[in-house]
Structure 1
Amino acid sequence: MSITLQDIEVMLGILVNGLPVIGKTDMKWGEVCRDLLGHEPPPMIPNSNRSIFAGVRIRYKWLDARFAAPLAVDTDDEVVQQHANYHLFVWMGALLFLDKSADRVSLLPLQFLNPINNARQYSWGSAVLAWLYRHLCSASKKDAMQIGGALLLV
């Protein structure tokens, strides 16, 4: 038995038709965070496990601390948009593009939320399936100790 695009669509309700989820990996991710989330993380600390950034991944705790307070009634549209980006981004990172570290989320999907209404035109199901198979391949190595991906499909 293998997991297919139809499984993704039926079980998760995610569209499998649309533009391919192909983006850049060499972006200035701090600036992307600032532009789409309204907060720029501190620069990466080389050879440190305490860094907010690790490659193109960012710590959940740092993000959660910035968006913990509820929005005020008179919040401007830009801040509402940033909170919507945050919630969609974290949902995608926690369920669909799960990182095996479990305390960081990949910033790669964030670039497709600019503007947020563009997200509907992409084939997220295909990206989720590819991400899952990538992590299943990594987990099959003899020295692997963890697994990532949309594990609720397994």
Structure 2
Amino acid sequence: MWRPKTHTFVLLVGEVTMPLENVAHIFDLPIYGEPVNGWTDSSSVFLQSQSITIFGHELEVSSFSMSYIKLGWLRRIRDPEPLDTKESTRRYVRCQIFYLLGSTLFTDKLNAYAHAKYLPLLRDFERIHTYSWRSACLAHLYKALCHASRYDTKEMDGPLNLLFVWAWERIPCITPVPR
């Protein structure tokens, strides 16, 4: 059982939680640095300008909805990107990082969209590594677990792969048995 007030799992052996060190062990993300936050505008003008600046492409009209960008559109612009110049390589890496943010660290229920609020953080290529991605990922997981613990919730989002690996490593009774 997840206890939202303390952000801990209540088990028969006591309470356990996932500390930042485990996120470091599993995802190898930086903890020290600037907070992962920022201002975002959900207007199509903001999304188009950010998309052109960061990815070098305009968003398709059906690709954004209420500040979310389809990961399928991101794959379509990332895969044919020629890696012949420094700027095209940076665009490719930005696409890949944004894709990982939406598909691994800050997932939604469908694993199909990424929130546009992370776009400004990718704008300055030299600063991407300076953000505290580890604490943001753990906070997102805690928020998802708190939401999932409500009685009326039927689905869960968040970095579930992080939760599964942590549980398999730390809770031996649920670890898969090797054959």
Shift of 1:153: 2.3
Q: What is the CA-CA distance between 1:42 and the residue it aligns to?
A: 3.1
- Matching residue's letter, 2:105: L
2:143 equivalent among 134, 149, 152? 134
Name which structure has the greater RCO, CA cutoff 8 Å, separation 6+. 1
Q: How many residue pairs end up in the alignment?
A: 145
Q: 2:63–2:73: 8 Å Cα contact kept in structure 1? A: yes
Tell me the residue number matched to 1:18. 33
Task: Return the letter of the residue paired with 2:71.
Answer: Y
**Corresponding residue of 1:149:** 158
1:100-139 aligned within 5 A: 100-139=109-148
Equivalent pair of 2:34/2:132 in contact (CA under 8 Å): yes
Aligned to 2:73: 62
CA distance in 1, matches of 2:113, 2:97: 15
Q: RMSD between aligned alpha carbons?
A: 1.7
User: Within 1, Cα distance between the matches of 2:110 and 2:72?
Assistant: 13
- For 1:60-99, list aligned pairs within 5 A: 60-69=71-80, 71=82, 75-99=84-108
Once residues 84 and 71 of structure 1 are traced to their aligned partners in structure 2, the CA distance between those partners, rounded to angstroms, is 12
1:37 to 50, 55, 80: 55
Residue 101 of structure 1 deviates from its aligned partner by 2.4
Of Structure 1 and Structure 2, which has the larger fraction of its residues in strand?
Answer: 2
How many angstroms apart in 2 are the aligned matches of 1:40 and 1:136?
Answer: 35
- Give distance in 2, aligned partners of 1:145 and 1:30: 34
Q: Which structure has the larger Rg?
A: 2
Cα distance, 1:107 vs structure 2: 2.1
Any gaps of 5 or more consecutive residues in structure 2?
1-15, 164-179
Between structures 1 and 2, the one with greater helix share: 2
CA distance, structure 2, for counterparts of residue 122 and residue 63 of structure 1: 22
1:17-47, CA deviations, whole angstroms, 9 ceiling, x for partnerless residues?
111112112261221111100111134xxxx
CA distance in 1, matches of 2:59, 2:53: 12
Fraction of identical pairs, as percent: 28
TM-score with structure 2 length normalisation?
0.74
- The answer to whether the Cα contact below 8 Å between 1:56 and 1:107 also exists between their aligned partners in 2 is yes
5+ unaligned residues in a row in structure 1: which ranges?
44-50
Deviations 1:50-98 (A, max 9, x none): x3212111111112112222525xx332222111100111112211111
